[in-house]
Amino acid sequence: MTHARQQTIQVVAHRGASEEAPEHTLAAYRKAIEDGADALECDVRLTADGHLVCVHDRRVNRTSNGRGAVSTLELADLAALDFGSWKGREESAESPDWDPGREPGRSSEPGDFTSVLTLERLLELVADAGRPLQLAIETKHPTRWAGRVEGRLLEMLKRFGLDKPPGDPDVPPPVRIMSFSARSLHRVSLAAPAIPTVYLMQFVTPRLRDGRLPAGAGIAGPGMRIVRNHPGYIARLHRAGHRVHVWTVNEPEDVEMCVRLGVEAIITNRPKQVLAQLGRG
């Protein structure tokens, strides 16, 4: 591997630095920023009262002390839950010199480990990061809600001025939207063509084996299992003119393989370790 090749790969913190802090908490994203991640990844769901929150699962059972579907709960209901103690404070802060609440001019707050995180608060964190930082947002939603999640998301990105391309053509767009749903990405591409879209894949369907992507998708997002089992598929995606962002890449041998195949982004729970392996730590 050459150092030049390594530097071209974007390191994306999956749900924040989620191996070291509870996923989708402010602490996890602050840790990822401190570790030097190039971008942050989050999942968004819509609450019953119309707020976008960063929660992966359809239900809150796994990552909180509550129960129920996000779509049936209001933000106040979610705010009353503990979204971090399941991981354990000792496990969450393995780095002895890391203060999870530390921001310039700000003291540590225990709620950073446990409070539900709204997309609005995450966007504020990115805006205050003090350096260029991209955000990869995955839409999650019940199909019965049709385009409500995408519509609410685009409204918020517009409010933060993130729905337009940067003035400098050499500067990458600050936000991209990802989904396993081709229909969701098609909605986004029609409503906000300047925002890049990533089609996430757990397996390769016969229709897509030649490297094509569904309408509205501009970037390929294969899972690491696809990369291991079908490395030639990455070359087909590149020949078709698509960038490749791979999830979730945690093991050193998988990072090594992604580098050899020339992927453009690695999405990982371990941004600090991956950056070190790429010679950037």
Number of domains observed in the structure of the chain = 1
The Cα–Cα gap between 128 and 145 comes to: 32
pTM of the model: 0.92
Could you tell me the CA-to-CA distances from 119 to 36, 40, 52, 60, 144 in Å, in that order? 21, 12, 6, 16, 22
The Cα–Cα gap between 175 and 165 comes to: 9
Local structure of 121: helix, strand or coil? helix
pLDDT at residue 52, as a whole number? 97
Q: Which two tokens stand for residue 153?
A: 């998301």
DSSP state of 251: S
pLDDT at residue 145, as a whole number? 76
Digit-coded pLDDT (tens) for 236-280:
999 999 999 999 999 999 999 999 999 999 999 999 999 999 999
pLDDT at residue 223, as a whole number? 98
Lowest mean pLDDT among 101-110, 135-144, 150-159, 199-208: 101-110
pLDDT at residue 191, as a whole number? 96
The Cα–Cα gap between 142 and 69 comes to: 10
Closest by CA to 201, choosing from 179, 177, 233, is: 179
Q: Which two tokens stand for residue 2?
A: 């050459």
Query: Residue 209 in contact with residue 229, Cβ under 8 Å?
Result: no
Q: Which two tokens stand for residue 82?
A: 């503990």
Chain mean pLDDT for the chain: 90
Give the mean model confidence (pLDDT) for residues 5-26.
90
Query: Residue 36 in contact with residue 272, Cβ under 8 Å?
Result: yes
- Domain extent for 219: 3-277
Helical ranges in the chain per DSSP H = 3-7, 26-35, 75-79, 89-92, 111-114, 119-127, 148-159, 182-191, 224-229, 231-239, 252-261, 271-277
Digit-coded pLDDT (tens) for 85-105:
988 644 544 443 445 444 433
Q: Spell out the long-range contacts of 246-251 with Cβ–Cβ below 8 A and sequence spacing 24 or more.
A: 246/221, 246/222, 247/14, 247/41, 247/200, 247/221, 247/222, 247/223, 248/14, 248/223, 248/224, 249/224, 249/274, 250/19
Could you tell me the CA-to-CA distances from 241 to 260, 274, 279 in Å, in that order? 18, 26, 27
Q: Which two tokens stand for residue 208?
A: 């897509």
Give the mean model confidence (pLDDT) for residues 171-185.
94
The Cα–Cα gap between 18 and 102 comes to: 17
Q: Does the structure show a pLDDT above 80 at 132?
A: yes
Residue 168, Cβ neighbours under 10 Å: how many? 7
Residue positions annotated with a catalytic role: 14, 56
CATH number at residue 246: 3.20.20.190
Confidence of residue 165 (pLDDT cuts 50, 70, 90): confident
Give the mean model confidence (pLDDT) for residues 131-135.
96
Give the mean model confidence (pLDDT) for residues 102-121.
74
Give the mean model confidence (pLDDT) for residues 172-201.
96
User: Rounded to a whole number, what is the largest CA-CA distance in the chain?
Assistant: 54
Could you tell me the CA-to-CA distances from 85 to 107, 153, 229, 253, 270 in Å, in that order? 20, 28, 36, 31, 20
pLDDT at residue 88, as a whole number? 67
pLDDT at residue 141, as a whole number? 83
The percent of residues above 90 in pLDDT, for the chain, comes to 82
pLDDT at residue 109, as a whole number? 72
Q: Which two tokens stand for residue 247?
A: 């999830």
Adjacent-strand bridge partners of 219: 198, 243
Give the mean model confidence (pLDDT) for residues 216-226.
97
The percent of residues above 70 in pLDDT, for the chain, comes to 90
Give the mean model confidence (pLDDT) for residues 221-247.
98
